[in-house]
């Protein structure tokens, strides 16, 4: 790998991994909270709803949280049937009321059975797993396992088995697992190592990574995200996904520059 590219990505990582990044990004949603359970619930919803313009994503997440009285954990575990009525009008892109209600039902199951969302995610992860492939496949299996599962809602939880790059879930895991002194990612989950994370491969990241030769695979799927991550490990084997900040930030800079 090109040493100059590594230096450039390090520079851009330092530039974008800072508190100023938070306000305009969906990661601002879990930053509204201090309790770890509120952080992981709100972060989970923010990641799942993260498609489209970032401003709209943040607005829809705030709308969803307001329906939970801005107390997501308390709402998830203690809500009654009447409390669910506002969600009948919720919609963001293809995520509708049916999906919202099942996610709420699923999360209540999770907190009753596993106490935390982290426990549900990592119940099958192995210390020596090279990445989160098995974890994501098994989490989706758990997600679709409840009797009340509506078939249409399955599309909102991606998995490597489905050939997905799993962008949203990889982003969520980055938020929960990565830990540094920059103030963006939370690092509240300790059962997954940062070295096991796979880089979220959104349109900005993919475009920039292909130009830098970090991706050569033609489709955009799980193997593409793994290829990108393995190349980033050549720069930092312990924390490769930190370069998500750099690749995404470069893509945003170019989008702004070419739109002027």
5-51 tens-digit pLDDT: 999 999 999 999 999 999 999 999 999 999 999 999 999 999 999 99
Greater pLDDT, 27 or 258 = 27
Residues 202-206: contacts with CB within 8 Å, 24+ apart?
Answer: 202/167, 202/171, 202/248, 203/251, 204/247, 204/248, 204/250, 204/251, 204/252, 204/255, 205/244, 205/247, 205/248, 205/251
Look at residue 1 and tell me whether its pLDDT is greater than 70: no
Q: List pLDDT tens digits, range 236-253.
A: 999 999 999 999 999 988
Look at residue 124 and tell me whether its pLDDT is greater than 70: no
Confidence (pTM): 0.95
The reported pLDDT for the residue numbered 128 is: 79
Contact indicator for 198, 171 with CB cutoff of 8 Å: no
Per the prediction, the chain carries an average pLDDT of 94
Q: How far apart are CA 100 and CA 60, in angstroms?
A: 12
Contact indicator for 247, 209 with CB cutoff of 8 Å: yes
Domain locations in the chain as residue ranges: 3-255
The reported pLDDT for the residue numbered 2 is: 62
Contact indicator for 125, 191 with CB cutoff of 8 Å: yes
Q: How far apart are CA 162 and CA 113, in angstroms?
A: 26
Look at residue 255 and tell me whether its pLDDT is greater than 70: no
Q: How far apart are CA 22 and CA 13, in angstroms?
A: 14
- The answer to which of 23-32, 79-88, 126-135 has the lowest mean pLDDT is 126-135
Q: Categorize the per-residue pLDDT at 127 as very low, low, confident or very high, splitting at 50, 70 and 90.
A: low
């Amino acid at each position: 790998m090109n040493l100059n590219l590594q230096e450039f990505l390090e520079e851009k990582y330092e530039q974008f991994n800072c508190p100023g990044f938070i306000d305009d990004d969906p990661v601002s949603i879990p930053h509204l909270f201090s309790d770890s359970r509120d952080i992981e619930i709100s972060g989970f919803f923010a990641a799942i709803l993260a498609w489209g313009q970032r401003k709209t994503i943040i607005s829809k997440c705030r709308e969803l949280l307001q329906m939970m009285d801005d107390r997501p954990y308390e709402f998830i575990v203690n809500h009654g049937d009447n409390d669910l009525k506002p969600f009948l009008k919720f919609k963001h892109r293809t995520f509708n009321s049916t999906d919202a209600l099942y996610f709420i039902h699923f999360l209540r199951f999770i907190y009753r059975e596993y106490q935390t969302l982290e426990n549900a995610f990592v119940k099958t992860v192995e210390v020596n797993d090279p990445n989160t492939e098995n974890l994501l496949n098994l989490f989706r299996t758990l997600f679709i396992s409840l009797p009340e599962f509506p078939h249409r809602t399955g599309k909102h939880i991606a998995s490597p088995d489905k050939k997905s790059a799993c962008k949203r879930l990889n982003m969520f895991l980055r938020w929960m697992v990565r830990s540094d002194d920059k103030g963006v990612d939370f690092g509240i989950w300790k059962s997954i190592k940062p070295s096991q994370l796979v880089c979220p491969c959104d349109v900005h990241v993919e475009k920039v990574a292909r130009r830098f030769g970090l991706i050569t695979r033609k489709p955009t799927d799980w193997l593409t995200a793994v290829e990108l991550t393995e190349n980033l490990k050549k720069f930092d084997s312990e924390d490769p996904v930190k370069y998500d900040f750099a690749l995404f930030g470069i893509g945003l800079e170019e989008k702004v520059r070419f739109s002027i």
